[in-house]
Amino acid sequence: MSSVLIIEDEAALASALAILMRRIGCAATTVASATLGLQHLQKSRPDLVVLDIGLPDQNGLETLATIRAGQPDLPVLIVTAHGNLQNAVEARKRGASGYLVKPLDLGELERTVRALLRSAEPAPAPAPAAAPAASQGAPLLIGSSAAMQPAFAAIAHACSSDAPVLITGPTGIGKSLTARVIHLHSARHQAPFVSLSCASLPETLLEAELFGHEKGAFTGAIQTRIGHVERAAGGTLFLDEIGELPPAVQVKLLRFVEEKTFVRVGGREDLRVDLRIIAATNQDLPALVAGKRFREDLLYRLRVLEVKLPPLADRRSDIPGLAGYLLAGIAAGRPLTLSHDAAQLLQQYDWPGNVRELRNVLERAAATCQGTSILATHLGPELQGGVTTAAPGSFANLDHALAAWLDERLRTVHDYDTLLDELEQRVLGLLLPRYEHKPTYLARALNMNRATLRKRLRGRDDPDSPADLDTP
DSSP for 57-112, please give it.
SSBHHHHHHHHHHH-TTS-EEEEES---HHHHHHHHHTT-SEEEESSPPHHHHHHH
Local structure of 121: helix, strand or coil: coil
In a domain, 146, yes or no: no
Q: 138-165: per-residue pLDDT in tens?
A: 556 888 888 888 899 899 889 988 999 9
Claim to verify: residue 243 and residue 355 sit in the same structural domain: no
Claim to verify: residue 298 and residue 317 sit in the same structural domain: no
Q: 382-417: per-residue pLDDT in tens?
A: 786 644 444 444 455 566 567 667 766 776 777 888
Local structure of 168: helix, strand or coil: strand
Report the CATH number at residue 367. 1.10.8.60
Please identify, among 365, 382, 404, the residue that sits at the C-terminal boundary of a domain: 404
Q: Are 221 and 214 in contact (CB under 8 A)?
A: yes
The pLDDT, as a whole number, for residue 362 is 92
307: pLDDT strictly greater than 50? yes
Q: Are 145 and 322 in contact (CB under 8 A)?
A: no
Q: 155-192: per-residue pLDDT in tens?
A: 988 998 899 999 999 999 999 999 999 999 999 999 99
The pLDDT, as a whole number, for residue 317 is 87
Q: Domain tally for the chain?
A: 4
Domain that holds residue 13: 2-130
108: pLDDT strictly greater than 70? yes
In a domain, 149, yes or no: no
Claim to verify: residue 398 and residue 336 sit in the same structural domain: yes
User: Which of 320, 390, 314 is closest to 146 using CA atoms?
Assistant: 314
Claim to verify: residue 191 and residue 328 sit in the same structural domain: no
The pLDDT, as a whole number, for residue 76 is 93
CA 336/CA 121 separation, integer angstroms: 50
Claim to verify: residue 104 and residue 225 sit in the same structural domain: no
CA 46/CA 27 separation, integer angstroms: 9
Going along 134-225, which residue ranges are E strands? Answer: 165-168, 193-197
Claim to verify: residue 249 and residue 377 sit in the same structural domain: no
Claim to verify: residue 302 and residue 338 sit in the same structural domain: no
pTM beyond 0.85, yes or no: no
Report the CATH number at residue 210. 3.40.50.300
The pLDDT, as a whole number, for residue 459 is 62
In a domain, 386, yes or no: yes
User: Higher model confidence: residue 461 or residue 80?
Assistant: 80
Claim to verify: residue 298 and residue 201 sit in the same structural domain: yes
Q: Confidence band (pLDDT; 50, 70, 90) for 250?
A: very high
Claim to verify: residue 280 and residue 320 sit in the same structural domain: no
In a domain, 145, yes or no: no
CA 188/CA 224 separation, integer angstroms: 27
Largest separation between any pair of C-alpha atoms in the chain = 92
Please identify, among 358, 380, 404, the residue that sits at the C-terminal boundary of a domain: 404
